Amino acid sequence: MTNLALFVSGGGSNFRAIHDASLAGRIAGRVTLVVTDKAECPGARYAREQGIDVFTYPAHDRQPSDLLQALEDRECRLVLLAGYLKMVPPEVVRAYERRMLNIHPALLPDFGGQGYYGRRVHEAVLQSGQTRSGVTVHFVDEQFDHGPIVAQATVPVLPGDTPESLAARVLEQEHLLYPRVVGALCRGDISWDDDGRAVIDPAIV
């Protein structure tokens, strides 16, 4: 059983999708810690209701070493970013190299990076005139939305779409894709090629 840490700042629907998949036995892991910068966000509240420890970071007087210690105390082997809006401290990113994932609501490398979060991502996609958007799950490095991509799922952009309607279509795919990738990572079904690319069996996703 792999211990998982989820990082959230908002609704926490991806956290819930992963938590549900683990309770249903579709992921050989369990969520042992939720990290949030907003102690009262719905994701953090849900974690408490589920009896999962919540650690607030950043918070007054807390250092990156305290965050690392919190992860170590719960023996978290994987870190999963799910709508966490703060930068993860570089020492934590390094400690979890190839063990930290993020989900982004667009097809990276487009529409990612600093400032591309929430509604803004979907607004930018609509403004660009693209006919498709989607979801990207990628490993985390020290830049926003930048590390090696593991898997993507696409959705159409439809005539008359608003940022909200597109976001809802994308989010539905997020809830399918993220638990599958996490399940694969827990099983050891993601490997690395010589060029530093993450390799996952396309049949899994």
Catalytic residues: 104
Place of tokens 């958007």: 133
Tally of CA atoms within 13 A in the half-sphere of 168 that contains its CB = 5
Stretch that binds ligand GRF, among 9-17, 30-38, 55-63, 151-159 (CB under 6 A): 9-17
By rule CB under 6 A, what count of residues binds ligand GRF? 14
Question: Which one of 11, 64, 89, 163 is in contact with ligand GRF (CB under 6 A)?
Answer: 11
Q: How far is the CB of 91 from ligand GRF (least distance, A)?
A: 22
List Cα–Cα distances, 193 to 106, 164, 190, in angstroms: 24, 37, 10
Q: How far is the CB of 31 from ligand GRF (least distance, A)?
A: 13
Given the complex with ligand GRF, which of 171 and 205 has the nearer CB atom? 171
DSSP state string for 80-136 = EESS--SPPPHHHHHHTTTSEEEEESS-TTTT-STT--THHHHHHHHHHT-SEEEEE
Interface with ligand GRF, residue 101, by CB under 6 A: no
Alpha-carbon distance of 40 to 37, in angstroms, equals 9
Q: How far is the CB of 170 from ligand GRF (least distance, A)?
A: 7
Stretch that binds ligand GRF, among 68-76, 99-107, 156-164, 189-197 (CB under 6 A): 99-107
Interface with ligand GRF, residue 145, by CB under 6 A: no
Interface with ligand GRF, residue 29, by CB under 6 A: no
Question: Which one of 52, 80, 108, 174 is in contact with ligand GRF (CB under 6 A)?
Answer: 174
Cis peptide before 163 (omega within 30 of 0): no
Given the complex with ligand GRF, which of 92 and 195 has the nearer CB atom? 92
Q: How far is the CB of 194 from ligand GRF (least distance, A)?
A: 30
Q: How far is the CB of 132 from ligand GRF (least distance, A)?
A: 16
Question: Which one of 29, 105, 134, 147 is in contact with ligand GRF (CB under 6 A)?
Answer: 105
Please tell me whether residue 2 adopts helix, strand or coil conformation: strand
DSSP state string for 161-176 = --HHHHHHHHHHHHHH
Pairing relationship of beta strands 29-36 and 53-56 according to DSSP bridges: parallel
List Cα–Cα distances, 73 to 76, 99, 159, in angstroms: 8, 17, 49
Q: Do 138 and 108 meet the contact criterion of CB atoms below 8 Å apart?
A: yes
Residues that bind ligand GRF (CB under 6 A): 8, 10-14, 43, 82-83, 103-105, 171, 174
